[in-house]
Amino acid sequence: CPRPVTAAALSCRRYVAGGRCKSTAKLEGKVVIITGANTGIGKETARDLAQRGKVVVACRDIAKAEAAASEIRAETGNQQVIVKKLDLADTKSIREFAEKFLAEEKELHILINNAGVMLCPYSKTADGFEMHLGVNHLGHFLLTFLLLERLKQCAPARIVNVSSLAHHGGRIRFHDLNGEKSYNRALAYCHSKLANVLFTRELARRLQGKSQRRVEFTANALHPGSVHSELVRHSFVMTWLWKIFSFFLKTPWEGAQTSIYCAVAEELDSVTGQYFSDCQPAYVSPRGRDDETAKKLWSVSCELLGIQWD
Is 189 marked active-site? yes
Catalytic residue among 15, 122, 183, 189: 189
Q: Supply angle C-alpha 291, 185, 235, rounded to 5.
A: 135
Q: Which helix (H) or strand (E) holds 132?
A: helix 131-132
Return d(Cα 129, Cα 166) in angstroms, integer. 20
- Beta-carbon contacts of 38 under 8 Å, excluding residues fewer than 6 positions away, are 57, 59, 61, 64, 65, 67, 68
Q: Supply angle C-alpha 178, 232, 161, rounded to 5.
A: 65
Q: Which helix (H) or strand (E) holds 277?
A: strand 275-277
Describe the crossing of helices 185-209 and 140-153 by its angle, rounded to 10 degrees. 20
Q: Which of 74, 72, 68, 151 is nearest to 105 (CA)?
A: 151
Return d(Cα 113, Cα 144) in angstroms, integer. 8
- Beta-carbon contacts of 29 under 8 Å, excluding residues fewer than 6 positions away, are 53, 107
Contact 43, 83 (CB under 8 A): no
Active site residues: 189
